[in-house]
Homo-oligomer: A and B are copies of this chain.
Amino acid sequence: MYNIGVDIGGTNLAIGLVNESLEIVQRASVPFPKAGGGPETARQIWEKTNELLDKAGGTLTDLESVGVVVPGSIDATGSIVINAYNLGFHDEPLKERIVAHFRDIPVFLANDANGAALAELYRGAFVGCNTAALLTLGTGVGGGLIIGGRMFNGGMNNGVEIGHALLASGGKHCTCGNNGCIEAYCSATALKQEGIKAMQDNPDSMLYKRTGGKAERMNAKVVIDCAKEGDESAVKVFDEYVDYLGSAVASLINILDCECVAIGGGVSAAGEFLFASLRQNVHKKSFFENHGRVVPAVMGNDAGIIGAAMLKRNRE
């Protein structure tokens, strides 16, 4: 039997046919049909599913479920995309539209960060965990929780918004309208912004040289690369960033006593350079001597497809 996993993003709709060993045996990616909205999205999922099944020598009777993850909030019944700004979906009855094509095959809908945590649980960093947290450091900070060996979608099914827990009450402005959120300090965007400030403050820095002093050429990777090479300005920015990230991770550990906290997204590509300092920082701030591991997320770009394909299993 197969499960279909669909990862809808603002640019592409990625779809994969996942076998019982949780491998993606067939996959496709098409431009997200923004103009067509929900109906066209559902039609594409239907069409691509049939193509992938065909390529794999299967039919619809080999399909256990269709799982879909979106960058947005889902209603408590798991049927409607309340808001997915990048997709232009608002109160979009996406499940119903997909079910219209697939009829008796169960369809599941989830937030993409939750899906990514689920992918880590079934095939990645969280295998064997009962309680774990995923932080994805990109444009924003996404978060997903595993509690009791299952995807945790919030006590009221609103989802989890770890990125908007407060790390510095009253501090830096966050895109959500509040001040001091984890996202405002720990996103790749935040690292970039601090990099720009440091570069402007110090024209002798490597940060300045690498970007020619141009803000638009700065990004998280430039800061990390310069810090690795020992550039003083970059090291300072990076150390402060790690200190904030350490506080965010330690907060999750002190509240949930997680077995594992995994870090994904662009910034995590910094590898041991990041994780060695981060672990030290978290250990200092953890209330528990014997606390959970801090590791890189491993599912990368496949997290969405695998997580979506596992939504049915998560319910069982």
Residues of A within 8 A of B (CB): 129-132, 143, 145, 147-148, 152-162, 164-171, 176, 178, 180, 185, 243-244, 247-248, 250-252, 254-259, 284-285, 287-288, 290-292
B287 touches A176 (CB 8 A): yes
Identify which of B161, B244, B288 contacts A255 (C-beta below 8 A).
B161
Identify which of B159, B169, B258 contacts A168 (C-beta below 8 A).
B169
Shortest A153–chain B CB gap in Å is 8
For A257, list chain B residues within 8 Å (CB). Answer: 153-161
A53 to B270, CA, bound (A): 64
Among A155, A160, A252, chain B packs the most CB atoms within 10 A around the CB of: A155
A284 to B166, CA, bound (A): 13
B285 touches A178 (CB 8 A): yes
Among A143, A159, A255, chain B packs the most CB atoms within 10 A around the CB of: A255
A158 touches B288 (CB 8 A): yes
Identify which of B162, B248, B288 contacts A254 (C-beta below 8 A).
B162
A147 to B130, CA, bound (A): 13
B251 touches A156 (CB 8 A): no
Question: Nearest 7 CB-CB pairs, A to B?
Answer: A131-B155, A154-B257, A169-B247, A165-B251, A161-B287, A166-B247, A158-B288
A166 touches B291 (CB 8 A): no
Shortest A177–chain B CB gap in Å is 8
A293 to B215, CA, bound (A): 44
CB-CB nearest in chain B for A159: B257
B169 touches A155 (CB 8 A): no
Shortest A128–chain B CB gap in Å is 12
Identify which of B153, B155, B256 contacts A154 (C-beta below 8 A).
B256
A252 to B257, CA, bound (A): 14
A185 to B157, CA, bound (A): 30
B244 touches A165 (CB 8 A): no
A285 touches B156 (CB 8 A): no
B180 touches A155 (CB 8 A): no
A254 to B170, CA, bound (A): 16
CB-CB nearest in chain B for A150: B148
CB-CB nearest in chain B for A146: B155
A254 touches B132 (CB 8 A): no
For A170, list chain B residues within 8 Å (CB). Answer: 168, 243, 247
For A162, list chain B residues within 8 Å (CB). Answer: 254-255
- Assuming A162-B255, A255-B161, is B168 touching A155 (CB within 8 A)? no
Among A161, A167, A243, A287, chain B packs the most CB atoms within 10 A around the CB of: A287
A–B complex contacts, Cβ < 8 Å, 21 sampled:
A129-B155, A147-B147, A147-B148, A147-B155, A153-B257, A154-B256, A155-B257, A156-B257, A159-B257, A160-B255, A160-B256, A161-B254, A162-B254, A166-B250, A166-B251, A168-B168, A169-B185, A169-B247, A170-B247, A251-B251, A252-B255
